[in-house]
Chains A and B, each alone.
Chain A
Amino acid sequence: MKDLAVRLAALDADAGAALRVIAYFDNLVEARAGLTSIVRGAAMLADCPARLVDEQRRVRVRVTQRGESAWADGPPDPAWLSIAAGPAILTLEKPGPPGPVGAMILERAAGAAKAVLDRTRGHAPAPDPASVELVVDAAASPDVRRQAARRLGLDPAGTATAVALETGPQVFAGPPPPFPGRAGIGPAVPVPELPSSWAAARTALRFAADGTDEDPGPTVVHHADLGALALLADLGDQSSLPDVRALDRTAAAAPWMPATLQAVADAISLRAAASALHVHHSTLQDRIAHAEHLLGWTVRDPHGRLRLQLALALRRLHRHP
């Protein structure tokens, strides 16, 4: 008998093919088919390997167009077609554009997969602030933290990353997603050691800027990138330090001053700083002269830049106690 993919391929130009795709996945859902069947259906109908990955719920399924389960390591090709299925990603291992039938396969398979994931693996861990607070709480007993980890769907034998946001802690089994606001990111650690990742994340958060004119700089800071700068966080209030007060003077003098000094501190050269600030090189030279007058030291030699960087770090720590 002609196989299904052959029959559908013959209909590809036809709107009927899309209807058949819909019928296929509707029937899988109605018959309560499992995830592998859904991914296999996508692979079979699209005639290419398909994969479903949900790191949060530890789901990894890959099926070839011949219907065989075969996981392949290595990252997905960015050119491949993919779509979100709740927190999971469904990918067809072929480049776009998908065409009307391909798009329908993606959409319907993702919908079916999401329904199965929600039914069988529980909804993606809903925010459970109390458990998150416990799992990062160094004062909680290891048993209590292990139970909290389980409630959060974390494997107590696996690793996780604590993230400090202004609203409190978050914990991720895989790499943390992008954050829109300030975030400090701790190292990935064994789940029982999450309090240490949380402590590091809180330190990193203090180095995260608001990203405003008043407080320019990176809004997401990884503790691992801080190096010895992290030690500054333990110094207590340094707002009366002369270099920090000098920075405050510059900020009071002109609204462009904090961003200018941050750019000078961060950029590899003054030319690069001018480019980052979208100002002409000579404009930047004038502004730096103004700033140096208020600071009382030059920021154009290595020592002066280090002094500026330390002062900026201390000022930010003071702003974010």
Chain B
Amino acid sequence: MTLSVAATPPPFDPELGAALAAVAETNPPPLTADLIPALRADSPMVRATEEELRRDGRFTVEERLVPGLDGDPDISLLICRPTAPKGVLGCVYHTHGGGMIIGDNRTGVPDMLDWAEEFDLVVVSVEYRLAPETPHPGPVHDCYAGLLWTAGHADELGFDPDRLLVAGGSAGGGLAAALALMARDRGGPALRGQVLICPMLDDRNDTPSAIQMAGLGVWDRTANDTGWTALLGDARGGPDVSPYAAPARATDLSGLPPAFIDVGSAETFRDEDVAYATRIWQAGGVAELHVWPGAFHGFDGMVPQAALSQEAKAARVRWLRRLLDA
């Protein structure tokens, strides 16, 4: 039997597709490497203000310089601590998204603060160096160094080290997955769970969904090629890519903390994310997978009001409740 992939991609969810049309990004201009400076100058990412992070005094906010890995430059951690927790504090260590090429440690933090309010979590978000200026392994090493520092300072930050989890979206989801692999392989720190939101996992960029969605939606195959090539250069797609750069390359997915993985059915990452969950199960691990029909990459951030966005956010909260109440 020959399997063929229909060139016809799954339709966008009505609300999400209408939103894409409204911002004229149903067919985005191809994101090539030469456009990275312009993308950084006019970033589509929202940078939360200090005041927004404080949430009327419910969080204290500080930036902390901590040592890089093995003599790398110091890195900056954004640390938001609840001022009036209801119970024992945990910690969510956050790796931001942006295709490895844009964003900063405030990108995506408001979603983390929502969880922090719900579950009494310290939020630590790492300012890792970006590609292409810093290729692999610089970015993931920065993330791991920040994670080690965070776990080592649980007392000072006031959280229970048994309640430390990693989370990230898009490139940050890939980095969070890589942190779970590194923590397993390098003897720590122990992680309660990993939240991988539409994670960027596979530098090969050749799954049926990547091919189907080329030229469509958000973060299409061209953009993905640009991001991976920035990180890996000529090694992208070749035989020698580290699983810490592209977790889909890991041959062993056993022994990982419980994973939450979600992704849209109408995005480049659909098939690599579904495969990652499947391979965790095949390795005897624990994963929860949500594939949101007709959702494009980052849908819940761009159209938070949409019915599907609300469901996706609620599903993450329900998983966290099961994880943290257990």
Tell me the bound Cα distance from A68 to B310 in angstroms: 8
Q: Which of A28-36, A118-126, A261-269 forms part of the interface with chain B?
A: A28-36
B302 within 8 A of A: yes
Pairwise interchain contact B19-A24, C-beta atoms closer than 8 A: yes
Indicate whether A288 reaches chain B with its CB closer than 8 angstroms: no
Contacts A37-B14, A40-B307, A67-B310 given; does A24 touch B21 at CB 8 Å: yes
B 144-166 to A, binary, CB cutoff 8 A, 1 in contact else 0? 00000000000000000000000
Q: A65 contacts B305, CB within 8 Å? A: yes
Contacts of B303 in A (CB 8 A): 3-4, 44
Residue A7 at the B interface, CB < 8 A?
yes
Also in contact, A31 and B44, with CB within 8 A (given A3-B301, A8-B22, A67-B307): no
Contacts of B45 in A (CB 8 A): 1-2
The chain A residue with its CB closest to the CB of B218 is A1
Rounded to whole angstroms, the CA-CA distance of A4 and B306 in the bound complex is 11
B15 within 8 A of A: yes
In the complex, chain B residues 302-322 whose Cβ is within 8 Å of any chain A Cβ: 302-307, 309-310
Chain A 13-27 near chain B by CB (<8 Å), digits 1 or 0: 000000011011111
CB contacts under 8 Å to A, within B264-315, are: 298, 301-307, 309-310
For the complex, what is the distance from the CA of A168 to the CA of B298, rounded to whole Å? Answer: 59
Question: Is A6 interfacial (CB 8 A cutoff)?
Answer: yes
Q: Which residues of B in the span 11-31 have a Cβ within 8 Å of any Cβ on A?
A: 11-12, 14-15, 17-19, 21-24
The contact string, 1 if C-beta is below 8 Å from chain A, for chain B 195-232, is 00000000000000000000000100000000000000
Interface residue B88 (Cβ < 8 Å from any Cβ of A): no
B46 adjacent to chain A (CB < 8 Å): yes
How many Cβ-Cβ contacts under 8 Å join chain A to chain B? 83
A7-B23, A24-B18 known; A44 vs B305 contact (CB < 8 Å) = yes
| Chain A, Cβ-Cβ closest to B309 | A67
User: Counting CB contacts under 8 A, is A43 at the interface?
Assistant: yes
Q: Within the complex, which residue of A2, A5, A31 is in contact with B11, where a contact is CB–CB below 8 Å?
A: A31
| Residues on the B chain within 8 Å of A32, using CB | 14
Q: Which residue of A lies closest to B301 (CB)?
A: A1
A40:B18 contact, CB within 8 angstroms: no
Most B Cβ at <10 Å: residue of A6, A7, A31, A40: A31
When each residue 122-148 of chain B gets 1 if its CB lies under 8 Å from chain A and 0 otherwise, what string results? 000000000000000000000000000
Task: Please name all residues of chain B whose beta carbon is closer than 8 Å to the beta carbon of A37 when the two chains form the complex.
Answer: 14-15, 307
Q: Of B18, B46, B304, B310, which contacts A33 at CB under 8 A?
A: B18
Known: A28-B15, A32-B14, A37-B15. Contact between A23 and B22, CB under 8 A?
Answer: yes
Q: How far is the CB of B52 from chain A (nearest CB, A)?
A: 13
A253 vs B105: C-alpha distance when bound (angstroms): 93
Name 11 extra pairs, CB < 8 A, besides A4-B23, A28-B15, A43-B305. Answer: A1-B45, A1-B298, A1-B302, A2-B45, A4-B22, A4-B303, A5-B305, A8-B22, A27-B18, A37-B307, A44-B303
